[in-house]
A and B are shown apart, each in its own frame.
Chain A
């Protein structure tokens, strides 16, 4: 039996005075279908907010695309949502298992691809697709015994995608999933996302190049870098 915690953090920051009067798009949350919900979560570095606190709601069967210019805090937001970083403001609650694919592939270069995937299955404890099938699905068929460090950047991304398949998890948080993938790879990501959403999962992804082409139109969230308090 897996238990999920509802974490709550009290806001200790002075927000800009007009903060609450600013227009803000509230994402509508469907009460039954929300797998992950974040209210006004923010993160601080050196005591300053990295991005303007955001509301996020991930509903089953629906994807969320997070966009924003470089340095606006997309990666940080995803890492907060994943539970890796502790939110400095706001409230985060989650009611399903989660997978995070960051820009580091989270594979051990000294282990073979197959060993890495087997580890993902065991570590998450919720077996998904068989390792060989997952490798074939992401176009790495026959590379199972190759050490992960010998893969190219694009192949490493594909190995990361295979890691999503070998363990069943409902929430996918993907940081720039299209980066260093070719066109076919981009389509592969779209297909995998469609299948995942159709199976009742949900996903949030950040991107600034290719926009996902999915069967159901994704929600969108634009985040902005927080205003720094300074003289001028």
Chain B
């Protein structure tokens, strides 16, 4: 019974006008929540937390680097779940959402790579190190770019979405393997990995801003996902009646 309700609910959401309305209502709230959490987190991260005794102030980069990295990976998980739903039940809105997750995930991966590289400069003395985390993030960026490129290369967007969903699932199996192999590779080649955190365990005052920032990035991802999906839906359905009606009402 519950299963049935969930399925019916999904199909209701699968209706483009319903989904469009949902996105329009929910996305601004998510953005607002993200802004509040980020403001909170950033204030704490920049003013309240004392400098680390080993890394001094440079560890503050952690508060954007780590949430972005986690979100880049969590975003991929979200896309995988959506891809499974899209492939099994062929619900169009989930296909679209799975596809629109890719550019956002890529953006977070980019944040992670850029801030990681900036952090590396004072800590390791180089902009880039073949560190396990950075390397697997770089590969993840290519996975995201592959998904985006594949989807964009199809004229029939539904077909493109389904093909790219297969790629998402292949990547889901592949990403842990990449991560593991890269980690192994760097430990073999470097003797010991360079650790961001050094010996010091995190001070208890360092945690709350991180949590706030993690929540903020989650909300940002959700909001951006809904925003982009809404646009994609309108673009695909531009000749359909419901878009015309909506436009007529707003014009």
| Chain A contacts to B: CB under 8 angstroms | 12, 44-47, 228-231
Interface bin, chain B: 10 to 19
Partner of A46, one of B89, B158, B241: B158
The residues of B that contact A231 with a CB separation of less than 8 Å are: 239-241, 244
In contact, A45 and B156 (Cβ under 8 angstroms): yes
Of all chain A residues, which has the CB nearest B11? Answer: A12
Partner of A230, one of B158, B159, B241: B241
Bound-state Cα–Cα, A229 to B90, Å = 19
Total A-B Cβ pairs within 8 A: 24
B74-111: CB near A (< 8 Å → 1, else 0) gives 00000000000000011110000000000000000000
The residues of B that contact A44 with a CB separation of less than 8 Å are: 158
Question: Given known contacts A12-B90, A230-B239, is B157 in contact with A46 (CB within 8 Å)?
Answer: yes
Subset of 15 A-B contacts with CB under 8 Å: A12-B89, A45-B156, A46-B157, A46-B158, A46-B159, A47-B92, A47-B157, A47-B158, A47-B236, A228-B239, A229-B240, A230-B239, A230-B240, A231-B241, A231-B244
The prevalent SS among residues of A at the interface is loop
Bound-state Cα–Cα, A45 to B160, Å = 11
Known: A45-B156, A228-B239. 12 other contacts (CB 8 A): A12-B89, A12-B90, A44-B158, A45-B159, A46-B156, A46-B157, A46-B158, A46-B159, A47-B158, A229-B241, A230-B241, A231-B244
The residues of A that contact B240 with a CB separation of less than 8 Å are: 229-231
The residues of A that contact B239 with a CB separation of less than 8 Å are: 228, 230-231
Bound-state Cα–Cα, A229 to B239, Å = 8
Bound-state Cα–Cα, A45 to B155, Å = 10
Q: List which B44-89 residues lie within 8 A (CB) of chain A.
A: 89
Q: List which B103-160 residues lie within 8 A (CB) of chain A.
A: 156-159
10 closest Cβ contacts across the A-B interface?
Answer: A47-B158, A46-B156, A231-B244, A231-B241, A12-B90, A230-B239, A229-B240, A46-B158, A45-B156, A47-B92
Of all chain A residues, which has the CB nearest B154? Answer: A46
Q: How far is the CB of A231 from chain B (nearest CB, A)?
A: 5
Bound-state Cα–Cα, A229 to B17, Å = 14
Of all chain B residues, which has the CB nearest A45? Answer: B156
Q: How far is the CB of B92 from chain A (nearest CB, A)?
A: 6
Bound-state Cα–Cα, A229 to B244, Å = 12
The residues of A that contact B89 with a CB separation of less than 8 Å are: 12
Q: Which residue, of A44, A45, A230, A231, has the highest number of chain B Cβ atoms within 10 A?
A: A231
Of all chain A residues, which has the CB nearest B239? Answer: A230
The residues of A that contact B158 with a CB separation of less than 8 Å are: 44, 46-47
Of all chain A residues, which has the CB nearest B160? Answer: A46
Q: Which residue, of B90, B157, B239, B241, has the highest number of chain A Cβ atoms within 10 A?
A: B90
Of all chain A residues, which has the CB nearest B241? Answer: A231
Q: List which B154-172 residues lie within 8 A (CB) of chain A.
A: 156-159
The residues of B that contact A45 with a CB separation of less than 8 Å are: 156, 159
Bound-state Cα–Cα, A46 to B238, Å = 13
The residues of A that contact B90 with a CB separation of less than 8 Å are: 12
Bound-state Cα–Cα, A46 to B162, Å = 11
Q: Which residue, of A47, A228, A229, A231, has the highest number of chain B Cβ atoms within 10 A?
A: A47
The residues of A that contact B159 with a CB separation of less than 8 Å are: 45-46
